[in-house]
Structure 1
Amino acid sequence: MEDKIIVENELGDWRRTHYSFQISDSVINNVVTVIGWISSKRDHGNVLFVQLRDRFGDIQILVKRKELSENIFDSLKSLKEHSSIAIKGKVVEQKNSSNEFEVIPEDIRILSVSNKPAPFLTQSISSIGIDTRLDLRAIDLRRNHLQNVFKIRNTILNSIREYLNDNYFVEVNTPKMIATATEGGAALFPIFYYDREAFLAQSPQLYKEQLTMAFENVFEIAPIFRAEPSRTNRHLSEAMSVDVEKAYVDYTDMMDYLDNLIRYIIQSVNDKNQIELDSLGTELPNVSKPFSRITYSTLVENLQKSHKYIRWGDDISPKLLKDLFGDEFYFITDWPSSTKPFYVKSKKMDPIAEPNNGDDPRMLSESFDLMYGSLELSSGSTRINNKGDLMDNMKKKGLSHKAFDYHLRVFDYGVPPHAGFGLGLERLLMAILKLDNIRDATFYPRDIDRLTP
């Protein structure tokens, strides 16, 4: 056949006519143009079997020396994995299978060349260390395992929007450069904002509360930034948060919404990603029943029976939660007010709590955490909507009223009763797919040790 020219890095007038999933009975004997990168190659001397991968999967390309010009065949023979090529050729059935197809090239264009072999395979989970993978994250994301993870992540995001839109929520966007801490504390990333200091937002909390005045029901899916010096497999410095806020409800209503949202997500993934789940060897959690709810005080009482060192007001060890609940979704409710941010509404005193000096630690809050085993996925609460109560709570937490004047002034105009939650997208993905490391639930992880790529 005539050598039509190979121009490296030039697409020219070539355009894809079919994705891999469209190579089927309906196009047998048709000439198609397929484009992608080489995921694997088998060399049998005068015959090459090339797996060409696009965003939907692989197409087998059968390349015979006698049917191509010498320099085209030799160029293909020398190409390494990850090189990009375009193929114009005829679709035929594979001889050894009635259900598979391959493309016999009539013309080939090499679009980019991989100059060195990748340090890990795309076909399977490699035993190579995660830091080596993250240094070449764009290549790492081509691996089958992560392709499946991020296809499921895409379904999760779509299903979240579907559920909230169907329940009359408005998607919003809030500032990520802020003047003061959203939730107090020191876990902030300072930045220069023209001639003054600012911070990256820990959450959209105060803005989404204000937006309930205008839209009643709002949600945002966006990054949050936490400068926590943690080196665990479940912490990120930059994470995606699903933040939901609703007017004229309390925290019990928001638990219902969150429970239903998680079950909607699980059902959507089961419906749309069975191929990916099978490839991962993963079965999603059973969510046929509403999630159980246990108060913080009851949990402490139960744990104290076998762990005498536990005191009311303490955090609960992840190991103890794992031993107690296993792998299931559940809510821990009515946390001590002392453990919650200033905007969380308080409720009655807890009779079993031990008094202490200073602020009475027995005060409870209208709050909840959604857990999966030992992993915290979400926190939510009824918010304070009375300006005086909010200012009193800020004072107890050692926060300056002046720093939050932009927020407090809104309460002079009647902020409605409201409640909400924030859900960690990466943690949810990590939990339901049983990922070992949260860094494999985000595209380019940021943590205490990593700022590149």
Structure 2
Amino acid sequence: MSVTVAGWVHEIRDLGGIAFLILRDRTGKIQIKFEKDELPDELVERALSVHRESVLSVTGEVFEEDRAPTGVEVVPSEIEVIAAADPELPLDPSGKVGADLSTRLDNRTLDLRRDEPRAIFEIRSEVLRAARETFRDLGSTEITTPKIVATGTEGGTELFPITYFGEEAFMNQSPQLFKQLLAASGLERVFEIGPIFRAEEHNTPRHLNEATSIDFESAFIDADEAMDVAETFVRSVYEAVQENCQDELETLGLADSFTVPEAGFPRITYEEAIQRANAAGVVDEQLTWGDDLPTEAEKALGEEMDQHYFITNWPASVKPFYIKDEDDDPEVSTGFDLNHPRMELVSGGQREHRYEELVEGFEAQGLDPAAFEYYTKMFKYGMPPHAGWGMGAERLLVTMLDLDNIREAVIFPRDRSRLSP
């Protein structure tokens, strides 16, 4: 049977009277066999003189060969060098010679010819596909909200200012305000998967300045029901990866250890969380009501919980203005976080749907309600109770695949030191 295959030169083994060229594409590798005495010299020379990562097209006959990588090999009759590669490569796509993360990110196209990083992004693609399917099964409508805004979603210093036709504008930190407005529209239940931007000062293995946010918002649900959706979502995407990405998990060495989180994620209150952190003795000073949980406390809690878990009933003072307080205690909010043992994944809660209370929340956090009139005025026109959450897609991948650095989960990451490629 005659076939034509094309791909990159992965390896050449010249053994004297016989030589083998391994051609690679996204589906795998195939062996091209050269018995030099039986093939034209010009054809053999053309094939064996190219450098690794050159792009070839090979036409020839297919034969069974148990010793070949795929159980078959091609004896060529025609070879075309489509694109020759420079002999000096900045990294080794075969993986035999390692490269540091910075070199890999500088040469991401070559890096993604390696099996391991390609597997990560095949899994990421499956996670996003399953995310959309899960949200649709939950009766949600996909939305796309502006990424250039007149005011910051959450205020503060983590804003990227830009010039917009002579006026100051910002890259959006979150679709939060827009998705609330759409939960109050005829759509009622919405989701978005899209970029967010934060002028994050930290440059650590868990921070990015451009990330992908997975957001959910629904009218007529409360914080408990929003947590139910978050748990359903996490388990659904894990199930999809387990079902559809076994080859990729095998490539990453995770096929035997990858499991779907069990249903019934524990829910502990913020007060209980700081008590447990204090008891673990991992913080220099005892945490008190209103303190944020430092990294050491999150790590200790994660080790103790040893599974996904929620922290509920956060102090109202540490949550954004749009989070509703408990009706019987204005010091306690309906805000919640969903944590993996390694890090926080989700921030959410029930939203304040009452106009007067919302405006008071703005003022309490030093924000000018007039700057957000496009948002606040809609609360005068029949705003239903609603709740939702946001999740970082990269953090989900980091925890799902046990990655060392969040940049491993982004094809072209943006951080304080990287604006190219």
Same fold (TM over 0.5): yes
Q: Measure the CA separation in 2 of the matches of 1:266 and 1:347.
A: 33
Counterpart of 1:444 (choices 405, 408, 412) is 412
* Alpha-carbon contact 1:247-1:416 (below 8 Å) kept: yes
Matched, 1:305 2:282: no
Most deviating of 281-290 and 296-305: 281-290
Displacement after TM superposition at 1:341 (Å): 1.1
Q: Measure the CA separation in 1 of the matches of 2:86 and 2:279.
A: 63
The number of residues matched between the two structures is 413
Matched residue, 2:138: 167
Matched, 1:59 2:25: no
1:335 maps to a residue whose letter is W
Q: Measure the CA separation in 2 of the matches of 1:383 and 1:248.
A: 11
Matched residue, 2:233: 261
Displacement after TM superposition at 1:378 (Å): 1.1
TM-score by length of 2: 0.93
Counterpart of 2:403 (choices 402, 413, 435) is 435
Displacement after TM superposition at 1:51 (Å): 2.0
Q: Measure the CA separation in 1 of the matches of 2:270 and 2:335.
A: 10
Identity of aligned residues (%): 41
Listed one character per residue, the Cα deviations across residues 311-348 of structure 1 (whole Å, up to 9, x for unaligned) are 22112222333233325211111111111111111115
Matched residue, 1:237: 209
Displacement after TM superposition at 1:98 (Å): 11
Displacement after TM superposition at 1:39 (Å): 2.2
Listed one character per residue, the Cα deviations across residues 257-316 of structure 1 (whole Å, up to 9, x for unaligned) are 110111111111111111211221122244123211111011112233354622221122
Matched residue, 1:370: 338
Matched, 1:193 2:164: yes
Displacement after TM superposition at 1:72 (Å): 3.0
1:445 maps to a residue whose letter is P
1:336 maps to a residue whose letter is P
Q: Measure the CA separation in 2 of the matches of 1:392 and 1:141.
A: 50
Matched residue, 2:295: 318
Matched residue, 2:151: 180
Listed one character per residue, the Cα deviations across residues 356-403 of structure 1 (whole Å, up to 9, x for unaligned) are xxxxxx711111111111311111111111111111100001001121
2:10 maps to a residue whose letter is S
Give the 3 Å change call, closer, same or farther, for CA 348–409 of structure 1 in structure 2.
closer
Matched, 1:379 2:347: yes
Q: Measure the CA separation in 2 of the matches of 1:206 and 1:309.
A: 35
* Alpha-carbon contact 1:285-1:328 (below 8 Å) kept: no
Matched residue, 2:375: 407
Matched residue, 1:335: 314
1:334 maps to a residue whose letter is N
Give the 3 Å change call, closer, same or farther, for CA 103–252 of structure 1 in structure 2.
same
Matched residue, 1:225: 197
Give the 3 Å change call, closer, same or farther, for CA 104–421 of structure 1 in structure 2.
same
Most deviating of 409-418 and 172-181: 409-418
Displacement after TM superposition at 1:74 (Å): 1.7
Give the 3 Å change call, closer, same or farther, for CA 81–99 of structure 1 in structure 2.
closer
Matched residue, 1:346: 325
Give the 3 Å change call, closer, same or farther, for CA 285–367 of structure 1 in structure 2.
farther
Give the 3 Å change call, closer, same or farther, for CA 99–138 of structure 1 in structure 2.
closer
Mapping for residues 75-114 of structure 1, pairs under 5 Å:
75-96=46-67, 100-114=71-85
Q: Which runs of 5+ in 1 are unaligned?
A: 1-29, 351-361
2:269 maps to a residue whose letter is T
Q: Which runs of 5+ in 2 are unaligned?
A: none
Most deviating of 300-309 and 367-376: 300-309
1:449 maps to a residue whose letter is S
Q: Measure the CA separation in 1 of the matches of 2:97 and 2:393.
A: 25
Q: Measure the CA separation in 2 of the matches of 1:263 and 1:250.
A: 20
Q: Measure the CA separation in 2 of the matches of 1:278 and 1:306.
A: 36
Give the 3 Å change call, closer, same or farther, for CA 337–126 of structure 1 in structure 2.
farther
Matched residue, 2:179: 208
TM-score by length of 1: 0.87
Displacement after TM superposition at 1:191 (Å): 1.0
Matched, 1:398 2:370: no
* Alpha-carbon contact 2:31-2:68 (below 8 Å) kept: no
* Alpha-carbon contact 1:81-1:117 (below 8 Å) kept: no
* Alpha-carbon contact 2:31-2:69 (below 8 Å) kept: no
Matched, 1:42 2:37: no
* Alpha-carbon contact 1:124-1:145 (below 8 Å) kept: no
Give the 3 Å change call, closer, same or farther, for CA 83–401 of structure 1 in structure 2.
same
Give the 3 Å change call, closer, same or farther, for CA 287–306 of structure 1 in structure 2.
closer
Displacement after TM superposition at 1:99 (Å): 6.5
Q: Measure the CA separation in 1 of the matches of 2:247 and 2:65.
A: 22
Q: Measure the CA separation in 1 of the matches of 2:414 and 2:359.
A: 35
